[in-house]
Structure 1
Amino acid sequence: MNRIFSRREVRILANQTEQDKWQEVALVDISYEVLDRASKTMNYKEIFKDAANLKGLTDEELMELVPQVYTEMNLDGRFICISAGEWGLKKWYTTEAIEESIEALARAKGIDDDDDDYGFDDEEITDEDFTEIEDYDNPDEDEEVDDEEVEEEEDLEFEEEEDGEFEEEGDDEFADDEEGDDVDEEDDDK
């Protein structure tokens, strides 16, 4: 059975079909389409309002998504901010025009390109500004060391350690008398 629709019903159906078409599309992509169809720069609020209408969002839903979509537009290479809140598509502009727009926007916001010195004065930094640091890590790099001397020193240290161990062990059995002679403590107890 064929039904005849009124003009009002046709517009409603067309609008529903349009909304169904945009349901699965990201709001940033819809914003791109809005700007592309308008073929002129627009304020971001107008862009978002038109995009929300295409997607069928309420004002409350749109308000929740505005920060996210605004961030996505900033990161998306297809968009360019022409002036405060005014957006366009990069494909409309030449590279030179984009650079000029960025510089003008930076000047308007008070951003100085020459402020990249990070607090340093304009005076040149010289080698005298740095003190020489001696390398204590690796003696081989600083001076040559005789391997035989090192081995002799290690042997002496080892012998001294061994001597100290034997004296400590013997302390229980012998004690020195006033003259420095070893005396057997067990004999004194008898």
Structure 2
Amino acid sequence: MKITALEGQKISELSMIEVAHALLEQNGKEMQFSEIIRAIQDYLEKSDDEIKASISRFYTEINTDGSFIPLGNNIWALRSWYAIDEIDEEVIALDEIEDEEEEKPAKKRKKVNAFGIEDEIDPEDEEGAKETTEEDMSYDTQAEDEDKDDVAAYDAELAEVELDNVDEEVDIDVEDDEDDSEDTDED
């Protein structure tokens, strides 16, 4: 296979992206990804193992390179072939062709209550629901129960404590507070 744009260049120095770009440019039409890979393999004279080892990197490069455009169904083309306005239309046209070929009946969508309160089914409400045992409880549930017990014990201890000297007044020394504020102003 000959690619005229790459004549005179060393085959060993060419990247797969360069070959793919020149290949699409020479063919002048969209190509399947698998066809592009086969043509690159033939042109660069690479073994199946070498291609398998580099195919994921090549696929990433062809996706990130700005000169290629995926048209759907693993069909690739050069972005320069399409005006910006045509790109969306071309993809839509391919989608329409796929839809005509498949012609599967559309699934009916079921309306869903966004809040889900009325339609919610609680398995505990059913007659045959089993009682939750301590073994069925998760760690979080057991921890919550232990926390509630700890809080209740703490509240009981607080209720038992008698406050001494509740009626005693506390004197606040205003002068000391003023002296402290003067010290901070001087800093």
TM-score (structure 2 length as normaliser): 0.46
Structure with greater Cα Rg: 1
User: Per chain length, whose mean CA-contact separation is higher, i.e. which structure has more relative contact order (CA < 8 Å, sep 6+)?
Assistant: 2
